[in-house]
Structure 1
Amino acid sequence: MLKTRLLTAAVGIPFLIGMAYLGGVYWQVLVGLLAAVALLEFLAMMRSKGFHPCIVSAILLAAVILFRIQLAPYLPGLFLAGLLLMIIGLVLTYPQRNINDLALSLFGSVYSGFFFSYALALGSTDGAFYLLLLVFILTWASDVGGYFFGRMWGKHKLAPRLSPGKTTEGSAGAIVLTILAACLCQYLPGNDYPQGSVLLVMAVAVSIAAQLGDLLESSIKRFFAVKDSGRLLPGHGGVLDRFDSFMLVCPVIYYFLVVL
Protein backbone atom coordinates (compact mmCIF):
# COMPACT_ATOMS: atom_id res chain seq x y z
CA MET A 1 0.00 0.00 0.00
CA LEU A 2 2.76 2.45 0.97
CA LYS A 3 4.72 1.57 -2.17
CA THR A 4 1.66 2.31 -4.30
CA ARG A 5 1.09 5.63 -2.54
CA LEU A 6 4.71 6.66 -3.06
CA LEU A 7 4.65 5.65 -6.72
CA THR A 8 1.48 7.66 -7.34
CA ALA A 9 3.01 10.65 -5.55
CA ALA A 10 6.27 10.29 -7.52
CA VAL A 11 4.30 10.60 -10.75
CA GLY A 12 1.62 13.03 -9.58
CA ILE A 13 3.74 15.69 -7.86
CA PRO A 14 6.00 16.49 -10.85
CA PHE A 15 2.94 16.44 -13.11
CA LEU A 16 1.07 18.97 -10.95
CA ILE A 17 4.08 21.26 -10.65
CA GLY A 18 4.72 20.98 -14.40
CA MET A 19 1.13 21.93 -15.24
CA ALA A 20 1.31 24.87 -12.84
CA TYR A 21 4.53 25.99 -14.53
CA LEU A 22 2.96 25.76 -18.00
CA GLY A 23 -0.05 27.68 -16.70
CA GLY A 24 -2.65 29.20 -18.98
CA VAL A 25 -4.97 26.79 -20.72
CA TYR A 26 -3.02 23.77 -19.41
CA TRP A 27 -3.73 24.72 -15.82
CA GLN A 28 -7.33 25.62 -16.61
CA VAL A 29 -7.97 22.25 -18.26
CA LEU A 30 -6.37 20.38 -15.35
CA VAL A 31 -8.40 22.25 -12.73
CA GLY A 32 -11.56 21.78 -14.78
CA LEU A 33 -10.94 18.03 -14.93
CA LEU A 34 -10.20 17.83 -11.20
CA ALA A 35 -13.38 19.72 -10.35
CA ALA A 36 -15.43 17.53 -12.70
CA VAL A 37 -14.06 14.30 -11.23
CA ALA A 38 -14.55 15.63 -7.69
CA LEU A 39 -18.21 16.36 -8.44
CA LEU A 40 -18.75 12.97 -10.08
CA GLU A 41 -17.20 11.29 -7.03
CA PHE A 42 -19.59 13.21 -4.78
CA LEU A 43 -22.61 12.27 -6.91
CA ALA A 44 -21.46 8.63 -6.94
CA MET A 45 -21.26 8.66 -3.14
CA MET A 46 -24.81 10.03 -3.08
CA ARG A 47 -26.00 7.18 -5.27
CA SER A 48 -24.21 4.59 -3.12
CA LYS A 49 -26.24 5.79 -0.13
CA GLY A 50 -29.54 5.50 -2.00
CA PHE A 51 -29.95 9.15 -3.00
CA HIS A 52 -30.86 10.24 -6.53
CA PRO A 53 -28.46 13.01 -7.61
CA CYS A 54 -29.53 15.72 -10.07
CA ILE A 55 -26.60 14.93 -12.35
CA VAL A 56 -27.07 17.25 -15.34
CA SER A 57 -28.06 20.35 -13.38
CA ALA A 58 -25.35 19.68 -10.77
CA ILE A 59 -22.68 19.56 -13.48
CA LEU A 60 -23.98 22.75 -15.11
CA LEU A 61 -24.09 24.60 -11.79
CA ALA A 62 -20.59 23.43 -10.85
CA ALA A 63 -19.25 24.65 -14.21
CA VAL A 64 -20.87 28.08 -13.71
CA ILE A 65 -19.40 28.37 -10.21
CA LEU A 66 -15.98 27.09 -11.31
CA PHE A 67 -15.69 29.67 -14.09
CA ARG A 68 -17.44 32.42 -12.12
CA ILE A 69 -14.69 34.96 -12.78
CA GLN A 70 -14.73 34.41 -16.54
CA LEU A 71 -18.54 34.38 -16.53
CA ALA A 72 -18.92 37.28 -14.09
CA PRO A 73 -21.25 39.44 -16.27
CA TYR A 74 -23.62 36.51 -16.75
CA LEU A 75 -23.15 34.77 -13.40
CA PRO A 76 -26.48 35.62 -11.69
CA GLY A 77 -28.54 34.57 -14.70
CA LEU A 78 -26.58 31.38 -15.33
CA PHE A 79 -26.71 30.37 -11.67
CA LEU A 80 -30.45 31.02 -11.54
CA ALA A 81 -30.96 28.99 -14.73
CA GLY A 82 -29.02 26.06 -13.27
CA LEU A 83 -30.93 26.24 -10.00
CA LEU A 84 -34.28 26.39 -11.81
CA LEU A 85 -33.27 23.38 -13.90
CA MET A 86 -32.52 21.48 -10.71
CA ILE A 87 -35.89 22.46 -9.21
CA ILE A 88 -37.77 21.50 -12.40
CA GLY A 89 -36.02 18.14 -12.38
CA LEU A 90 -37.11 17.64 -8.77
CA VAL A 91 -40.74 18.48 -9.58
CA LEU A 92 -40.85 16.19 -12.61
CA THR A 93 -39.27 13.21 -10.85
CA TYR A 94 -40.93 13.48 -7.42
CA PRO A 95 -41.18 11.29 -5.34
CA GLN A 96 -38.19 9.44 -6.83
CA ARG A 97 -36.21 12.59 -6.07
CA ASN A 98 -36.92 14.79 -3.07
CA ILE A 99 -35.55 17.88 -1.38
CA ASN A 100 -32.67 15.92 0.15
CA ASP A 101 -31.47 14.93 -3.32
CA LEU A 102 -31.66 18.55 -4.48
CA ALA A 103 -29.86 19.89 -1.41
CA LEU A 104 -27.05 17.34 -1.63
CA SER A 105 -26.64 17.86 -5.38
CA LEU A 106 -26.46 21.62 -4.84
CA PHE A 107 -23.88 21.18 -2.08
CA GLY A 108 -21.77 18.97 -4.37
CA SER A 109 -21.84 21.64 -7.08
CA VAL A 110 -20.79 24.41 -4.70
CA TYR A 111 -18.18 22.23 -2.94
CA SER A 112 -16.41 21.18 -6.14
CA GLY A 113 -16.94 24.34 -8.17
CA PHE A 114 -16.37 27.08 -5.59
CA PHE A 115 -13.15 25.89 -3.99
CA PHE A 116 -11.50 24.80 -7.24
CA SER A 117 -12.40 28.21 -8.72
CA TYR A 118 -9.72 29.70 -6.47
CA ALA A 119 -7.13 27.42 -8.08
CA LEU A 120 -8.16 28.97 -11.41
CA ALA A 121 -8.01 32.46 -9.89
CA LEU A 122 -4.48 31.87 -8.58
CA GLY A 123 -3.45 30.55 -11.99
CA SER A 124 -4.52 33.79 -13.67
CA THR A 125 -2.52 36.16 -11.44
CA ASP A 126 0.94 37.65 -11.90
CA GLY A 127 3.50 35.22 -10.53
CA ALA A 128 0.93 32.42 -10.73
CA PHE A 129 3.50 29.62 -10.69
CA TYR A 130 5.04 30.75 -7.40
CA LEU A 131 1.63 31.16 -5.79
CA LEU A 132 0.56 27.67 -6.85
CA LEU A 133 3.91 26.24 -5.80
CA LEU A 134 3.37 27.79 -2.37
CA VAL A 135 -0.09 26.19 -2.20
CA PHE A 136 1.39 22.77 -2.99
CA ILE A 137 4.32 23.02 -0.59
CA LEU A 138 2.33 24.31 2.38
CA THR A 139 -0.53 21.86 1.84
CA TRP A 140 1.86 18.92 1.67
CA ALA A 141 3.81 20.22 4.69
CA SER A 142 0.61 20.37 6.73
CA ASP A 143 -0.41 16.86 5.68
CA VAL A 144 3.05 15.39 6.37
CA GLY A 145 3.42 17.22 9.69
CA GLY A 146 0.02 16.06 10.86
CA TYR A 147 0.72 12.46 9.87
CA PHE A 148 4.17 12.05 11.42
CA PHE A 149 3.58 14.10 14.58
CA GLY A 150 0.34 12.20 15.09
CA ARG A 151 2.04 8.84 14.59
CA MET A 152 4.91 9.65 16.95
CA TRP A 153 3.25 11.65 19.72
CA GLY A 154 -0.49 11.58 19.12
CA LYS A 155 -2.51 10.79 22.25
CA HIS A 156 -5.48 13.16 22.37
CA LYS A 157 -8.19 12.76 19.75
CA LEU A 158 -9.00 15.87 17.74
CA ALA A 159 -12.36 14.87 16.23
CA PRO A 160 -12.98 11.22 17.13
CA ARG A 161 -16.42 11.03 15.55
CA LEU A 162 -15.23 12.38 12.21
CA SER A 163 -11.68 11.08 11.94
CA PRO A 164 -10.52 8.83 14.80
CA GLY A 165 -6.91 8.92 13.61
CA LYS A 166 -6.56 12.71 13.95
CA THR A 167 -4.97 14.00 17.16
CA THR A 168 -4.33 17.42 18.67
CA GLU A 169 -0.61 16.63 18.65
CA GLY A 170 -0.80 15.88 14.95
CA SER A 171 -2.70 19.12 14.38
CA ALA A 172 -0.02 21.09 16.21
CA GLY A 173 2.67 19.30 14.23
CA ALA A 174 0.92 20.21 11.00
CA ILE A 175 1.01 23.89 11.96
CA VAL A 176 4.68 23.73 13.00
CA LEU A 177 5.83 22.07 9.79
CA THR A 178 3.74 24.46 7.69
CA ILE A 179 5.40 27.45 9.37
CA LEU A 180 8.83 25.90 8.78
CA ALA A 181 8.01 25.22 5.13
CA ALA A 182 6.75 28.79 4.66
CA CYS A 183 9.99 30.17 6.09
CA LEU A 184 12.05 27.99 3.74
CA CYS A 185 9.93 29.06 0.77
CA GLN A 186 11.26 32.60 1.21
CA TYR A 187 14.55 31.36 -0.23
CA LEU A 188 13.04 30.13 -3.49
CA PRO A 189 14.53 32.20 -6.35
CA GLY A 190 12.11 34.61 -8.00
CA ASN A 191 9.41 34.49 -5.33
CA ASP A 192 7.59 37.49 -3.88
CA TYR A 193 6.22 35.90 -0.71
CA PRO A 194 5.38 37.97 2.40
CA GLN A 195 7.81 38.32 5.27
CA GLY A 196 7.72 38.33 9.06
CA SER A 197 4.44 38.25 10.95
CA VAL A 198 2.34 38.18 7.77
CA LEU A 199 4.09 34.99 6.68
CA LEU A 200 3.59 33.46 10.13
CA VAL A 201 -0.14 34.26 10.25
CA MET A 202 -0.60 33.02 6.69
CA ALA A 203 1.15 29.72 7.44
CA VAL A 204 -1.04 29.10 10.50
CA ALA A 205 -4.19 29.96 8.53
CA VAL A 206 -3.12 27.65 5.70
CA SER A 207 -2.56 24.71 8.02
CA ILE A 208 -5.90 25.25 9.77
CA ALA A 209 -7.64 25.45 6.38
CA ALA A 210 -5.89 22.28 5.20
CA GLN A 211 -6.99 20.39 8.31
CA LEU A 212 -10.55 21.70 8.00
CA GLY A 213 -10.62 20.53 4.39
CA ASP A 214 -9.54 17.08 5.50
CA LEU A 215 -12.16 16.95 8.26
CA LEU A 216 -14.88 18.24 5.95
CA GLU A 217 -14.20 15.47 3.47
CA SER A 218 -14.11 12.95 6.33
CA SER A 219 -17.56 14.12 7.41
CA ILE A 220 -18.84 13.67 3.85
CA LYS A 221 -17.46 10.13 3.64
CA ARG A 222 -18.90 9.26 7.04
CA PHE A 223 -22.30 10.57 5.99
CA PHE A 224 -22.25 8.42 2.86
CA ALA A 225 -20.59 5.49 4.70
CA VAL A 226 -17.68 5.08 2.27
CA LYS A 227 -13.96 4.61 2.90
CA ASP A 228 -12.69 6.55 -0.11
CA SER A 229 -14.32 9.05 -2.44
CA GLY A 230 -13.07 7.15 -5.48
CA ARG A 231 -10.33 4.97 -6.96
CA LEU A 232 -8.70 7.23 -9.53
CA LEU A 233 -5.42 7.64 -7.63
CA PRO A 234 -3.92 4.26 -6.59
CA GLY A 235 -3.08 4.20 -2.90
CA HIS A 236 -4.72 7.58 -2.31
CA GLY A 237 -8.37 7.02 -3.25
CA GLY A 238 -10.15 9.65 -5.29
CA VAL A 239 -9.62 13.29 -6.21
CA LEU A 240 -11.53 14.47 -3.14
CA ASP A 241 -9.35 12.25 -0.93
CA ARG A 242 -6.17 13.78 -2.31
CA PHE A 243 -7.23 17.39 -2.93
CA ASP A 244 -9.50 18.01 0.07
CA SER A 245 -6.87 20.14 1.83
CA PHE A 246 -5.73 21.83 -1.40
CA MET A 247 -9.29 22.97 -2.08
CA LEU A 248 -9.48 25.01 1.14
CA VAL A 249 -5.88 26.24 1.05
CA CYS A 250 -6.33 27.93 -2.35
CA PRO A 251 -8.76 30.62 -1.10
CA VAL A 252 -6.56 31.33 1.93
CA ILE A 253 -3.49 31.91 -0.25
CA TYR A 254 -5.58 33.91 -2.71
CA TYR A 255 -6.89 36.36 -0.11
CA PHE A 256 -3.56 36.68 1.72
CA LEU A 257 -1.36 37.22 -1.34
CA VAL A 258 -3.67 38.58 -4.04
CA VAL A 259 -6.46 40.52 -2.34
CA LEU A 260 -4.81 41.86 0.84
Structure 2
Amino acid sequence: MFKTRLITSLVGIPLLIAILYQGGWYWKGFFILLAIVGLFEFYRMIINKGHKVLQLPGYFLLLIILLGVDYPQFLLPGIYLFLVVALLYFVLCYPRFSPLDLAWTLLGSAYIGFLLAYTIQIADLSQPFLVILLAFLLTWASDIGGYLFGSVWGKHKMSPLLSPGKSWEGAAGSLLLSLLVSFAFFKLLDLGQLGISPVILLGVAASILAQCGDLFISGIKRYSAVKDTGRIIPGHGGVLDRFDAFLLVVPAVYYFFVYCI
Protein backbone atom coordinates (compact mmCIF):
# COMPACT_ATOMS: atom_id res chain seq x y z
CA MET A 1 0.00 0.00 0.00
CA PHE A 2 2.77 2.46 0.91
CA LYS A 3 4.59 1.73 -2.37
CA THR A 4 1.40 2.39 -4.35
CA ARG A 5 0.79 5.64 -2.46
CA LEU A 6 4.36 6.75 -3.09
CA ILE A 7 4.23 6.02 -6.82
CA THR A 8 0.89 7.80 -7.16
CA SER A 9 2.29 10.84 -5.33
CA LEU A 10 5.47 10.93 -7.44
CA VAL A 11 3.41 10.89 -10.62
CA GLY A 12 0.38 12.84 -9.47
CA ILE A 13 1.98 15.81 -7.73
CA PRO A 14 4.13 16.95 -10.71
CA LEU A 15 1.11 16.49 -12.99
CA LEU A 16 -1.06 18.53 -10.64
CA ILE A 17 1.53 21.31 -10.45
CA ALA A 18 1.88 21.35 -14.24
CA ILE A 19 -1.89 21.71 -14.70
CA LEU A 20 -2.10 24.52 -12.18
CA TYR A 21 0.90 26.28 -13.71
CA GLN A 22 -0.88 26.34 -17.09
CA GLY A 23 -3.73 28.27 -15.53
CA GLY A 24 -6.81 29.28 -17.49
CA TRP A 25 -9.30 26.55 -18.31
CA TYR A 26 -6.75 23.85 -17.43
CA TRP A 27 -6.91 25.19 -13.88
CA LYS A 28 -10.68 25.67 -13.81
CA GLY A 29 -11.36 22.40 -15.59
CA PHE A 30 -9.32 20.49 -13.05
CA PHE A 31 -11.21 21.89 -10.08
CA ILE A 32 -14.60 21.48 -11.79
CA LEU A 33 -13.78 17.81 -12.41
CA LEU A 34 -12.52 17.49 -8.83
CA ALA A 35 -15.79 18.92 -7.51
CA ILE A 36 -17.97 16.64 -9.64
CA VAL A 37 -16.07 13.50 -8.64
CA GLY A 38 -16.04 14.61 -5.00
CA LEU A 39 -19.81 15.12 -5.01
CA PHE A 40 -20.29 11.73 -6.68
CA GLU A 41 -18.34 10.14 -3.83
CA PHE A 42 -20.28 12.09 -1.22
CA TYR A 43 -23.64 11.08 -2.66
CA ARG A 44 -22.56 7.46 -3.02
CA MET A 45 -21.66 7.32 0.67
CA ILE A 46 -25.03 8.80 1.64
CA ILE A 47 -26.89 6.38 -0.65
CA ASN A 48 -24.89 3.55 0.91
CA LYS A 49 -26.39 4.58 4.24
CA GLY A 50 -29.89 4.17 2.80
CA HIS A 51 -30.76 7.79 2.03
CA LYS A 52 -31.96 9.19 -1.29
CA VAL A 53 -30.43 12.22 -2.96
CA LEU A 54 -31.49 14.42 -5.87
CA GLN A 55 -28.41 13.78 -7.95
CA LEU A 56 -29.02 15.86 -11.09
CA PRO A 57 -30.29 18.94 -9.21
CA GLY A 58 -27.41 18.42 -6.77
CA TYR A 59 -24.79 18.52 -9.54
CA PHE A 60 -26.54 21.54 -11.03
CA LEU A 61 -26.33 23.39 -7.71
CA LEU A 62 -22.68 22.39 -7.33
CA LEU A 63 -21.76 23.96 -10.69
CA ILE A 64 -23.87 27.06 -10.05
CA ILE A 65 -22.08 27.70 -6.75
CA LEU A 66 -18.66 26.78 -8.14
CA LEU A 67 -18.90 29.01 -11.21
CA GLY A 68 -20.88 31.79 -9.56
CA VAL A 69 -17.62 33.74 -9.23
CA ASP A 70 -17.23 33.98 -13.01
CA TYR A 71 -20.94 34.20 -13.79
CA PRO A 72 -22.58 35.96 -10.82
CA GLN A 73 -25.69 36.77 -12.86
CA PHE A 74 -26.59 33.05 -12.78
CA LEU A 75 -25.87 32.41 -9.08
CA LEU A 76 -29.11 33.52 -7.40
CA PRO A 77 -31.44 32.36 -10.22
CA GLY A 78 -29.63 29.00 -10.22
CA ILE A 79 -30.04 28.52 -6.47
CA TYR A 80 -33.70 29.53 -6.76
CA LEU A 81 -34.26 26.99 -9.57
CA PHE A 82 -32.62 24.26 -7.49
CA LEU A 83 -34.87 25.03 -4.51
CA VAL A 84 -38.01 25.02 -6.67
CA VAL A 85 -37.12 21.64 -8.21
CA ALA A 86 -36.02 20.12 -4.89
CA LEU A 87 -39.10 21.27 -2.97
CA LEU A 88 -41.42 20.21 -5.78
CA TYR A 89 -39.84 16.75 -5.79
CA PHE A 90 -40.17 16.60 -2.00
CA VAL A 91 -43.88 17.51 -2.10
CA LEU A 92 -44.70 15.04 -4.88
CA CYS A 93 -42.65 12.15 -3.49
CA TYR A 94 -43.28 12.50 0.25
CA PRO A 95 -42.80 10.34 2.33
CA ARG A 96 -40.53 8.35 -0.01
CA PHE A 97 -38.24 11.40 -0.11
CA SER A 98 -37.68 12.81 3.37
CA PRO A 99 -36.46 16.19 4.67
CA LEU A 100 -33.23 14.45 5.67
CA ASP A 101 -32.69 13.30 2.08
CA LEU A 102 -33.16 16.89 0.93
CA ALA A 103 -30.69 18.10 3.56
CA TRP A 104 -28.02 15.60 2.46
CA THR A 105 -28.48 16.67 -1.16
CA LEU A 106 -28.00 20.32 -0.24
CA LEU A 107 -25.08 19.71 2.13
CA GLY A 108 -22.99 17.80 -0.40
CA SER A 109 -23.43 20.37 -3.17
CA ALA A 110 -23.01 23.41 -0.93
CA TYR A 111 -20.03 22.10 1.04
CA ILE A 112 -17.95 21.01 -1.94
CA GLY A 113 -19.13 23.72 -4.34
CA PHE A 114 -18.69 26.65 -1.94
CA LEU A 115 -15.24 25.65 -0.68
CA LEU A 116 -13.83 24.81 -4.12
CA ALA A 117 -15.26 28.07 -5.48
CA TYR A 118 -12.29 29.72 -3.78
CA THR A 119 -9.97 27.94 -6.22
CA ILE A 120 -11.79 29.75 -9.03
CA GLN A 121 -11.45 33.05 -7.16
CA ILE A 122 -7.73 32.45 -6.66
CA ALA A 123 -7.32 32.18 -10.44
CA ASP A 124 -8.16 35.90 -10.64
CA LEU A 125 -5.51 37.03 -8.13
CA SER A 126 -2.22 38.58 -9.24
CA GLN A 127 -0.06 35.50 -8.46
CA PRO A 128 -2.55 32.62 -8.56
CA PHE A 129 -0.04 29.81 -8.98
CA LEU A 130 1.88 30.75 -5.83
CA VAL A 131 -1.35 31.11 -3.84
CA ILE A 132 -2.73 27.72 -4.83
CA LEU A 133 0.70 26.14 -4.41
CA LEU A 134 0.85 27.40 -0.83
CA ALA A 135 -2.62 25.98 -0.14
CA PHE A 136 -1.45 22.56 -1.30
CA LEU A 137 1.88 22.79 0.52
CA LEU A 138 0.20 23.64 3.82
CA THR A 139 -2.30 20.81 3.34
CA TRP A 140 0.43 18.29 2.56
CA ALA A 141 2.54 19.56 5.47
CA SER A 142 -0.36 19.06 7.85
CA ASP A 143 -0.97 15.55 6.53
CA ILE A 144 2.70 14.49 6.56
CA GLY A 145 3.44 16.04 9.96
CA GLY A 146 0.42 14.35 11.48
CA TYR A 147 1.34 10.98 9.97
CA LEU A 148 4.99 11.09 11.06
CA PHE A 149 4.43 12.29 14.61
CA GLY A 150 1.39 10.07 15.04
CA SER A 151 3.24 6.99 13.82
CA VAL A 152 6.21 7.53 16.10
CA TRP A 153 4.75 9.11 19.23
CA GLY A 154 0.98 8.82 18.88
CA LYS A 155 -0.54 7.54 22.14
CA HIS A 156 -3.39 9.88 23.08
CA LYS A 157 -6.38 9.56 20.76
CA MET A 158 -7.83 12.82 19.49
CA SER A 159 -11.23 11.62 18.27
CA PRO A 160 -11.50 7.82 18.49
CA LEU A 161 -15.12 7.76 17.33
CA LEU A 162 -14.39 9.70 14.14
CA SER A 163 -10.85 8.57 13.32
CA PRO A 164 -9.16 6.05 15.64
CA GLY A 165 -5.77 6.65 14.01
CA LYS A 166 -5.65 10.36 14.85
CA SER A 167 -3.71 11.35 17.98
CA TRP A 168 -2.88 14.58 19.78
CA GLU A 169 0.80 13.90 19.12
CA GLY A 170 -0.02 13.71 15.41
CA ALA A 171 -1.95 16.97 15.70
CA ALA A 172 1.13 18.62 17.21
CA GLY A 173 3.26 17.31 14.33
CA SER A 174 0.72 18.64 11.85
CA LEU A 175 0.86 22.05 13.49
CA LEU A 176 4.65 22.14 13.62
CA LEU A 177 5.24 21.18 9.98
CA SER A 178 2.55 23.57 8.74
CA LEU A 179 4.25 26.38 10.66
CA LEU A 180 7.63 25.50 9.17
CA VAL A 181 6.23 25.39 5.63
CA SER A 182 4.42 28.71 6.08
CA PHE A 183 7.56 30.37 7.42
CA ALA A 184 9.83 28.86 4.73
CA PHE A 185 7.45 29.83 1.91
CA PHE A 186 7.39 33.53 2.80
CA LYS A 187 11.07 33.53 3.69
CA LEU A 188 12.09 32.19 0.29
CA LEU A 189 9.66 34.22 -1.83
CA ASP A 190 9.39 37.99 -1.94
CA LEU A 191 5.65 38.54 -1.54
CA GLY A 192 5.64 41.84 0.29
CA GLN A 193 6.53 43.07 3.75
CA LEU A 194 5.06 40.60 6.20
CA GLY A 195 5.69 40.32 9.90
CA ILE A 196 6.17 36.98 11.61
CA SER A 197 2.75 37.07 13.31
CA PRO A 198 0.57 36.72 10.16
CA VAL A 199 2.80 33.93 8.85
CA ILE A 200 2.50 32.02 12.14
CA LEU A 201 -1.25 32.62 12.21
CA LEU A 202 -1.61 31.21 8.70
CA GLY A 203 0.38 28.09 9.57
CA VAL A 204 -1.67 27.46 12.72
CA ALA A 205 -5.00 28.14 10.99
CA ALA A 206 -4.12 25.90 8.03
CA SER A 207 -3.19 23.00 10.31
CA ILE A 208 -6.37 23.27 12.39
CA LEU A 209 -8.57 23.63 9.32
CA ALA A 210 -6.87 20.74 7.52
CA GLN A 211 -7.44 18.44 10.48
CA CYS A 212 -11.07 19.56 10.81
CA GLY A 213 -11.70 18.88 7.13
CA ASP A 214 -10.11 15.45 7.47
CA LEU A 215 -12.19 14.59 10.54
CA PHE A 216 -15.41 15.81 8.92
CA ILE A 217 -15.05 13.45 5.95
CA SER A 218 -13.96 10.70 8.36
CA GLY A 219 -17.24 11.27 10.19
CA ILE A 220 -19.22 10.96 6.95
CA LYS A 221 -17.38 7.69 6.18
CA ARG A 222 -18.11 6.37 9.67
CA TYR A 223 -21.76 7.34 9.35
CA SER A 224 -22.00 5.65 5.95
CA ALA A 225 -19.99 2.56 7.02
CA VAL A 226 -17.38 2.86 4.25
CA LYS A 227 -13.61 2.68 4.52
CA ASP A 228 -12.74 5.04 1.67
CA THR A 229 -14.76 7.61 -0.24
CA GLY A 230 -13.70 5.98 -3.52
CA ARG A 231 -10.94 4.21 -5.43
CA ILE A 232 -10.06 6.67 -8.16
CA ILE A 233 -6.59 7.50 -6.73
CA PRO A 234 -4.47 4.33 -6.36
CA GLY A 235 -3.25 3.88 -2.80
CA HIS A 236 -5.09 6.94 -1.56
CA GLY A 237 -8.75 6.09 -2.07
CA GLY A 238 -11.10 8.71 -3.46
CA VAL A 239 -10.98 12.42 -4.20
CA LEU A 240 -12.48 13.28 -0.81
CA ASP A 241 -9.94 11.02 0.92
CA ARG A 242 -7.13 13.02 -0.65
CA PHE A 243 -8.59 16.54 -0.82
CA ASP A 244 -10.75 16.63 2.34
CA ALA A 245 -8.23 18.80 4.20
CA PHE A 246 -7.53 21.03 1.19
CA LEU A 247 -11.19 22.03 0.97
CA LEU A 248 -11.01 24.01 4.22
CA VAL A 249 -7.44 25.25 3.80
CA VAL A 250 -7.85 26.95 0.41
CA PRO A 251 -10.36 29.63 1.57
CA ALA A 252 -8.02 30.59 4.44
CA VAL A 253 -5.08 31.00 2.07
CA TYR A 254 -7.23 33.03 -0.31
CA TYR A 255 -8.28 35.47 2.43
CA PHE A 256 -4.71 35.69 3.69
CA PHE A 257 -3.49 36.90 0.30
CA VAL A 258 -6.44 39.24 -0.15
CA TYR A 259 -6.17 40.96 3.23
CA CYS A 260 -2.56 40.52 4.34
CA ILE A 261 -0.48 40.95 1.19
Taking structure 1 as the reference length, the TM-score comes to 0.96
The one-letter amino acid paired with 1:128 is P
The corresponding residue for 2:46 is 46
Q: Per-residue deviation at 1:206?
A: 0.6
Distance in structure 1 (CA, Å) of the matches to 2:23 and 2:172: 34
Distance in structure 2 (CA, Å) of the matches to 1:62 and 1:237: 22
Which range moved further: 236-245 or 76-85?
76-85
The corresponding residue for 2:135 is 135
* 5+ residue gaps, structure 2: none
The one-letter amino acid paired with 1:13 is I
**Cα pair distance change 1:194/1:128, threshold 3 Å:** farther
Distance in structure 2 (CA, Å) of the matches to 1:74 and 1:8: 38
Deviation digits for residues 3-37 of structure 1 (CA, Å, limit 9, x no counterpart): 11111111111111111111111100000000000
Report 1:27-176 matches (<5 A).
27-176=27-176
Distance in structure 2 (CA, Å) of the matches to 1:104 and 1:29: 25
Distance in structure 2 (CA, Å) of the matches to 1:130 and 1:193: 16
The corresponding residue for 1:200 is 200
Contact kept in structure 2, 1:135 and 1:253, CA below 8 Å: yes
Q: Per-residue deviation at 1:131?
A: 0.4
The one-letter amino acid paired with 1:219 is G
1:205 aligned counterpart, secondary structure: helix
Distance in structure 2 (CA, Å) of the matches to 1:67 and 1:47: 26
1:137 aligned counterpart, secondary structure: helix
Q: Per-residue deviation at 1:144?
A: 0.3
The corresponding residue for 1:178 is 178
CA-based RMSD: 1.4
Contact kept in structure 2, 1:24 and 1:124, CA below 8 Å: no
* 5+ residue gaps, structure 1: none
Q: Per-residue deviation at 1:189?
A: 4.7
The one-letter amino acid paired with 1:148 is L
Contact kept in structure 2, 1:45 and 1:226, CA below 8 Å: yes
The one-letter amino acid paired with 1:205 is A
